[in-house]
Amino acid sequence: MDIRQIEQFFKIIDAELTQDARAILTGAAAGTIWGSTRPSMDIDFAIEVKNQSEAGWQELESAIGKAIDKTGIQANYAEDIDRWGMVTLLNYKSNAKLYKKYGNLTLLVLDPAFWSIGKMTRFIDPDIQDMIQVFRKKKCSPTNLAEVWGKALKESPRSTTLIRFRRQVESFFESYGTKIWGRKFNLSKAIKQFHTSAGIGKQA
């Protein structure tokens, strides 16, 4: 799936809508927009419609179904994608950037730092490679990433997932920090920022 296919998918949705709607891309599709080259044939997004009635949602679901049928791209969508995982995406709706405005549909892309929360939670190799490529391409600050990941850890409900998330953040910085940001990357500073943002030191 490339940028042209992503845009075509949402153009088809827009053509079927008679109401205003807003979509926020995440997952592999957002990674493609931000610079990842990993192939994928599914698209993940948050979606909101102006008409919150059953009829409004039926129109939206029909439009998405037509986009799936015409493009062959599978879709995972929800009104609130923060419910998809055990680690919160924080105020992700306020951290999405405008990508394109169609007729009735406004398409945004989740900010790389907030997009990466889900990637860091899963932490399988394709997600790791996505993050490496996007962080390089967008010149993402390790300090900002550490702060966002720390806040996500702090504000998530307690679960065993949070223990893994902490270890995965620390492992990512240790294993890939220099590869992404070069010799100037300061591992201890990045981990300290993560711990501070997560309130880990205060728990000791």
Residue ranges covered by each domain of the chain: 3-113, 114-203
User: Helix, strand or coil for residue 50?
Assistant: coil
pTM of the model: 0.93
Instruction: Tally the residues of the chain.
Output: 204
What pLDDT, on the 0 to 100 scale, is given for residue 203? 46
What pLDDT, on the 0 to 100 scale, is given for residue 204? 38
What pLDDT, on the 0 to 100 scale, is given for residue 53? 84
Provide the token pair at 198: 């997560």
Residues of the chain where predicted confidence (pLDDT) is lower than 70: 202-204
What pLDDT, on the 0 to 100 scale, is given for residue 39? 75
Burial class (CB in 10 A: 0-12, 13-18, 19+), 177: middle
What pLDDT, on the 0 to 100 scale, is given for residue 202? 61
